[in-house]
Amino acid sequence: MAEATAPTRRARSGGGAARRAARSAVQIECAKYIERKIPNYEVLDEAALTIIESNAEVVLEEIGVNFTGNPQSLERWRQAGADVQGERVRFPKGMVRDLCKTAPAQFTQHARNPDRNVVIGGTNLVTAPVYGPPFVRDAEGGRRYATMADFQKFVKLGYMSKYLHHSGGTVCEPTDVPVNKRHLDMLLAHMTLSDKPFMGSVTEPSRAQDCVEMCEILFGKAFVQENTVMTSLININSPLTFDETMMGALEVYAKNNQAAIISPFIVGGAMAPVSVTATLTQVLAEVMVGIAYSQLIRPGAPVIFGTFVTSIDMNSGAPTFGTPEASQILYGAGQLARRLGLPYRSGGGLCGSKLPDAQAAYETANTLNAGLLGGVNFMLHACGWLEGGLVASFEKFVMDADQLGTLDKMAQGVAVDENAQALDALREVGPGGHYLGCAHTQANFKEAFWRSDLLDYKPFETWSDEGARDTASLATARVAKLLGDYTPPPLDPEIKARLDSYVAEKKASMPDAFG
């Protein structure tokens, strides 16, 4: 599939109320997605890659995978030429890889504000927030079950975060809303409180369909069929199992030309062997099957090669993050994805710590750095992740979002033009001088160095007088500031009203379900 191009759409911000909102809105800075001008880092040589690819074919041919509770999928595989025995599907050598070939190398996910469109694939990096935690934590309220109010705050923070390109999906689980209605409120929040691209629901095929319909209200029906407006997370039930819920959601999205991240979720040593090479083998086999299945549904449907692998503490069984093995898998899977010519999802601000402390930051920085250098195209969990993904942390959200600026700057690479060579500055200053006042510095200092919006750069005495605050305390203040400054992006009130009605009617049509 050639990269989709956005047709010109009528302005959706029309109407007096929207114009008034636009006038009074605080100017929100939002950086374009990252276009790397730096090389990828690779840990596997050609021999290792060949072994892994060859072993993945052995897994697919000899062991196969299970498609559970989904007779239709088994029939599809049978027709495609696979060997189906019960729910087990085995594949002739090369078949799955061949099916992956119709998947696009990159695609545009449209946002309702075209300036926020993201191109996923190639050398690009798109960042999205944490996904899935049932708990939230902040300094004031501690750790508690997440609510819809928390969810909305996170969407607002995401909208206000310059280096976050994507509003994400289940930023936290709004546990105060019945499980069968959550997706409606969540999507409504992404659509109305932010103008960045977002993810759809995957917890039931019917909920995926609701998301498609809400997008048809927001973007127009024809636009949705021709363009990708959602990227959703389809987890594989590792090892080697594809369940009916996730595959059902995948079917809905692929049919509608909406993007899916096909992603094993692996705690190393439990859901894959205790070896980087064998885990990569399993990941490759699993992802290729998922992508091939999406292409059986609709050839050309946009997909992302996903990899989520943690290591494990063999003493306690706890998943561990920011570890060398996790980085090696991230780097290796990126190489495998690029050899398939597919966009790659991995990385993020992963950590196991209970608090937004030094452990959280070491583990997060290890993962963010690997994600940048490992060629990740879609970085889910880029900010806000805490406690192995059980908790969405308000403080860590803004801490990580600030660090994403370092990835942006690093990715720009090193300029070597005449201005960057600065020979005149070297001549002007000479031995023993200083550069603070020289002409080159005056002309360039504003853009020269990345600067944190959060971290402390003050002299010790000032910092001490101001309360000797640690990073988490500075983050608490920043969360309050950003939420205080927040104003929603303009949205056509008619569309807003139709979305509200859709959600209200859908919710009224169903009994509440929890759990």
Site for a second copy in 268-287 (CB under 8 A): 268-278, 281-282
Nearer to a second copy, 148 or 373 (CB): 373
Q: Is 373 in the site for a second copy (CB under 8 A)?
A: yes
Q: Is 347 in the site for a second copy (CB under 8 A)?
A: no
Q: Is 470 in the site for a second copy (CB under 8 A)?
A: yes
Q: Is 55 in the site for a second copy (CB under 8 A)?
A: yes
Q: Is 449 in the site for a second copy (CB under 8 A)?
A: yes
Nearer to a second copy, 72 or 452 (CB): 452
Is-contact 34 124, C-beta < 8 A? yes
Q: Is 175 in the site for a second copy (CB under 8 A)?
A: no
- Binder among 23, 315, 511, 515 for a second copy (CB under 8 A): 315
Q: Is 369 in the site for a second copy (CB under 8 A)?
A: yes
Is the previous residue joined to 239 through a cis bond, with omega within 30 degrees of 0?
A: yes
Site for a second copy in 71-130 (CB under 8 A): 88
d(CA 57, CA 483): 50
- Binder among 103, 340, 361, 491 for a second copy (CB under 8 A): 361
Tokens of 148: 């819809």
> What string marks each residue from 242 to 271 as x (binds a second copy by CB under 8 A) or -?
--------------------------xxxx
> Torsion-angle region of residue 168: left (phi > 0), alpha (psi -120 to 50) or beta?
left
Q: Is 353 in the site for a second copy (CB under 8 A)?
A: yes
Residue among 266, 290, 270, 292 nearest 280 (CA): 266
Nearer to a second copy, 459 or 515 (CB): 459
d(CA 443, CA 244): 60
CA dist 293 to 77, 261, 296, 303, Å?
8, 13, 5, 11
- In eight-state DSSP terms, residue 489 is P
Between 182-193 and 148-160, two packed helices, what is the crossing angle to 10 degrees? 30
- Binder among 32, 221, 451, 481 for a second copy (CB under 8 A): 451
- Binder among 172, 254, 422, 491 for a second copy (CB under 8 A): 422
Question: For tokens 């019960």, what's the residue?
Answer: 86
Q: Is 34 in the site for a second copy (CB under 8 A)?
A: no
- Binder among 327, 346, 377, 476 for a second copy (CB under 8 A): 327
d(CA 64, CA 75): 16
- Report CA 226 to chain centroid distance, whole Å: 23
Strands (E), 22-169: 34-35, 65-67, 83-85, 88-90, 106-109, 118-121, 124-127, 135-138, 142-145
Residue 417 CB, nearest approach to a second copy (Å): 8
Nearer to a second copy, 470 or 512 (CB): 470
Site for a second copy in 380-409 (CB under 8 A): 387, 390, 399, 403, 406-407, 409
- Binder among 295, 328, 377, 476 for a second copy (CB under 8 A): 328
- Binder among 431, 467, 511, 515 for a second copy (CB under 8 A): 431
Candidates 28-36, 190-198, 219-227, 311-319; binding stretch for a second copy (CB under 8 A): 311-319
Give all strands of the β-sheet with 88-90 in edge-to-edge order: 83-85, 88-90, 65-67, 241-242
d(CA 194, CA 208): 20
Residue 455 CB, nearest approach to a second copy (Å): 5
Binding residues with a second copy: total (CB under 8 A): 123
- Binder among 104, 174, 248, 352 for a second copy (CB under 8 A): 352
Q: Is 39 in the site for a second copy (CB under 8 A)?
A: yes
**Type and span of the H or E element at 263:** strand 259-267
Nearer to a second copy, 102 or 359 (CB): 359
Residue 247 CB, nearest approach to a second copy (Å): 14
Residue 421 CB, nearest approach to a second copy (Å): 6
| φ/ψ (deg, to 5) at 40 | -85, 155
In sequence order, what are the residues at sequence separation of 6 or more whose Cβ sits closer than 8 angstroms to the Cβ of residue 484?
Answer: none
Tokens of 497: 């009203």
| φ/ψ (deg, to 5) at 132 | 105, -15
Residue 507 CB, nearest approach to a second copy (Å): 33
Q: Is 161 in the site for a second copy (CB under 8 A)?
A: no
Nearer to a second copy, 199 or 329 (CB): 329
Nearer to a second copy, 2 or 416 (CB): 416
**N-terminal to C-terminal alpha carbon distance within the chain:** 39
d(CA 16, CA 18): 5
